[in-house]
Structures are given as C-alpha cells and as structure tokens.
A and B are shown apart, each in its own frame.
Chain A
C-alpha cells in the first residue's frame, strides 16, 4: 500500500475518562500523522466536549500553535451554558488555525434542534465554516438534514455518519443536501459499507476521519485505500473534499 495523502477533519487532543488511550500527546499524534500520510488534521480538545469547554479550548489553542500548518482547531461549544458561545468565540475565533466549531450532543445530552443550539449554527452559517457534530442514531441523522437545510452556508459534518445502526438514515439525510457531509469516523468498519455509501450519495459528500486519539487512524486509512473505489473517489474522500471545506473556512493552503 502506498502512503496516501490525507486531510483529517475529525481529531481530538487529550485523554478520556471512559477508557485508556495508549498514546495521547500532541507529539504522538503528529508523529502518527506523518506515518499515515495525514498532512493536516482539525482537532478539538476532549475537555471541550464536556462542560469544561474553556479549559479544553485553551489547550487546543496552545497545541495547534505548536504545529502550524499541520494542526487546526475546532472551538468546542456546550450550548447548555448560554454564555459559552460568546465567551469561547471571544477567546478563540480569529486565532491562527481555528477553522470551525465542535458539538457533542450525545455526551452533553441535547438535541441539535434545540433553540439554544441555533446561535451556533447562525454563527457558522455567517462564517461559512464547518461544524463537526457527534451524531448518533437515526433520529439525530435526520435532524442533521433539517439543520443543514436551514443553514445552507454552514458545512455540517455528520460525525460517525450517525453510528453503525443509523447508516441508512445518514445516507438518506445527506441526499440532495450538499452542505451535509458524511464523516466516516468509526470504530465499526463494516466490509462493503463504504462502497455502498459512495454508490448512494457520491464520493463528494464523504470525508475521512480518524477520531485520534480515541482510536488509531490506520484502520480508517486501510478501509478506504483497500476498498473497491476508484482512485479518484478515494482522493475525494481522503483529502480533496476536506481541502475544499478548509478553503471555504478561509484557510490559505
């Protein structure tokens, strides 16, 4: 297998409470990016997908500053805290390498349709930036469609394609909604599913994602590189689609 060229729009920094991550430092992450052919990665800090957004977002800013041109950042927002949007954006937006917003509705127990989430999407729509949301379940996948249609200038990244039991809903949700992207990040990599998804929606709406350091990037790379897809389709999924999103978010490449 030749080392592919990859841009990864789904990475994290830090450790996690629920399980051990054998490696987790930013240096580990960048070294593994080199090994796997990942040229650029957009990360959120894992603390920024909990209630402690400020701590995580500050760590994110420090870490991406250490690897300019390799690491970019999502600002983690927790919509339960009405002041979070204003405070976190004031602290982070406009800083070098910050390109989008990160939401985790499952971990923080809310619906993306809730009124408290709408300022996040309004901001992203105005900026034309990506919002990466952890989306888990068929209902949530269909809610993603509603949000993407309501805010057409925002790029909504449906994290994990809704999870292993919601791939059909995720694909249905994405049909005809070009600003709704299917993020392949998954620990469940089923044989043949990727090819089926491309057949349904086309390679232009599908994105590589690693979820480092939750899991390793190599599985995600192999799933695509060894698939039956044509090289042009693989290139779109591995990096071309992500580069378009970064360009729209104002990143000079």
Chain B
C-alpha cells in the first residue's frame, strides 16, 4: 500500500436521472469503493442540487453529511437576483451555519443556465472570495475564455477545475501560468506523465485529489497519484493536504 490517505474533492451523492448497467449510487456502495481505494473523506454535492434545484439539493447534502461523517457538504450555487438563492450576507451566514466550505456551479445552458461574468455573478463571487470558499467547476461548464476571465477578474477566489481530460493541456497550461488562483482536480489529468509535468511546472500545491465518484473509477484516480514519479511529500500534498489547507481558510 502507498500509505496515502485520500481526501476526495469531487464526489456526488444521490440518484442521477439515468443509470448505466454498472452504475453505483447507494451510499454503502460508495463507501465500499472509498474503503478499497483508500479514500478517507470526501467533499460531496447532491445530484438533486443539479438536476432538480439547488435549494433542495443543498439542504439534502447538509443533512446527508450530518449523518455520514466521512462526507463534507458542497453547495451548488446560483446568483441571487431571481430570489431562488440567498445572496450577500445571507449566503455567507447560510454557508457558515451549514458547514459549507466549498461550492460548485453548473452555469452551462443545459444545466443552470447563467453566467459567471461579473455583471451577473459578481455579488456571488465576492461573497465566496470574501469567505475564502473555493468554487469548483467541471470542464465543459464554461468556455475556456470565460474560465480565464473568471480567474483573472476574481483573483482572490480559489477556482477548482474538475473532471478535466487529457486533451486540455494547451488550454490548462496558460491558465495555470496566468491565474495563480486556479487549482486542478486530478482524476482527469490522464496525459502521459501528466501529473508529473503539472507538479514540475506549477507545483504540487495546486493539485487536489478527486475521483469523480460515483461515475468515474476511484481506483484509476488513486493509482495516478500513488504510482506517479513525484516525491512522497508531493503525493501527500495532492492526496489531501492541499485540500485541507484550502478548507482551513474558509471564514477566516
């Protein structure tokens, strides 16, 4: 065994709209996979916050995490103009009370259909930055140009890019160079010796272990850290220390 204990920044809870023959979704199935792969704890959002509405899904993930101590709640956020989602101090207070130290957004037209540009989401982004709450975004939720703008225009907001893929380096390298507030979740960094290259070029401190469970193979995600040609210290940072460090800054 590697001796690594993973803190996963990318897990989903709940029943998605459709299943494949092999899909897992029950919490006990998820925990069995986590145990097998050495994943001790996980940041989790509720699928209901994406496929139904954040207001109910966010409440459900907080309740789930209260009953399942290995999971920590991730809220799915919206800008608050329409009255569907808290804004300003109410949002900050709500997250603090619920123990939410990371959020995720799904702004693409097929999902929550909004913009993360400042004229739409500036107030939301300022609350998150002010509370030091990282914002996670799946690849494909925003065009690359808008991710760049988001990173540059909100330099105090930690941005975590999740569910990446191996074909994106020609976008990711300049983003990492120009936006020091951008972090990468590791499950999709599948390029040949790709994790090693990111460590060398940008430092292990900007890489956070994630699995993409229950959709993606947690064993694949664990092995890429465990078997990589980087130091044990870098592996430990990626496996969980970096995430803990980010979360420690919340509300401070």
Contacts and interface: CB of A to CB of B under 8 A. Distances in A.
Interface of A: 1, 18-24, 28-29, 31-32, 35-36, 168, 187-196, 212-216, 218-228
B192 interface: yes
B24 interface: yes
Given A22-B169, A216-B191, A216-B194, A192 B220 contact: no
A5 B128 CA distance: 47
A191 to B, nearest CB: 5
A219 B191 contact: no
B113 interface: no
Given A20-B170, A219-B190, A190 B226 contact: no
Contact of B22 (A29, A196, A225): A196
A187 B166 contact: yes
Which one of A22, A35, A193 has the highest number of Cβ atoms from chain B below 10 Å of its Cβ? Answer: A22
Contacts of A215: 166, 190-192, 194
Contacts of B177: none
B192 A213 contact: yes
Interface residues of B, number: 41
Contact of B192 (A28, A196, A222, A223): A28
Contacts of A19: 166-170
A219 B193 contact: no
B215 A190 contact: yes
Given A189-B216, A222-B221, 8 more contacts: A19-B166, A168-B21, A189-B217, A191-B22, A191-B33, A215-B192, A222-B222, A227-B219
A216 B222 contact: no
Contact of B190 (A23, A187, A194, A224): A187
A23 to B, nearest CB: 4
Given A35-B227, A221-B223, A21 B191 contact: yes
Contacts of A219: 190, 217, 220-221, 223-224
Nearest to B173: A20
A3 to B, nearest CB: 8
B156 to A, nearest CB: 30
Contacts of B220: 189, 218-220, 222-223, 226
Contact of B37 (A31, A193, A226): A226
Interface of B: 1-2, 20-24, 33, 36-37, 165-170, 173, 190-197, 213-224, 226-229
A218 B22 contact: no
Given A168-B21, A192-B22, A221-B223, A216 B1 contact: no
B181 to A, nearest CB: 23
Nearest to A191: B217
B24 A187 contact: no
A196 B2 CA distance: 27
Contacts of A216: 166, 190-195, 224
A226 B21 contact: no
Contacts of A213: 192
B193 A192 contact: no
Contacts of A218: 220, 223-224, 226-228
23 contacts: A1-B222, A1-B223, A1-B227, A19-B167, A22-B191, A24-B192, A35-B227, A188-B216, A189-B216, A190-B22, A191-B217, A192-B22, A192-B23, A214-B192, A216-B191, A218-B223, A219-B223, A222-B217, A222-B220, A223-B219, A223-B220, A223-B223, A225-B223
Contacts of B23: 190-192
A28 B197 CA distance: 12
Contacts of A190: 20, 22-23, 215-217
B137 to A, nearest CB: 20
A125 to B, nearest CB: 33
A227 B223 CA distance: 12
B166 A222 contact: no
A32 B1 CA distance: 19
Contact of A226 (B193, B196, B214, B223): B223
Contacts of A191: 22-24, 33, 213-218
A196 B193 CA distance: 29
B228 to A, nearest CB: 7
Nearest to B33: A191
B177 to A, nearest CB: 14
Contacts of A22: 169, 191-194, 196-197
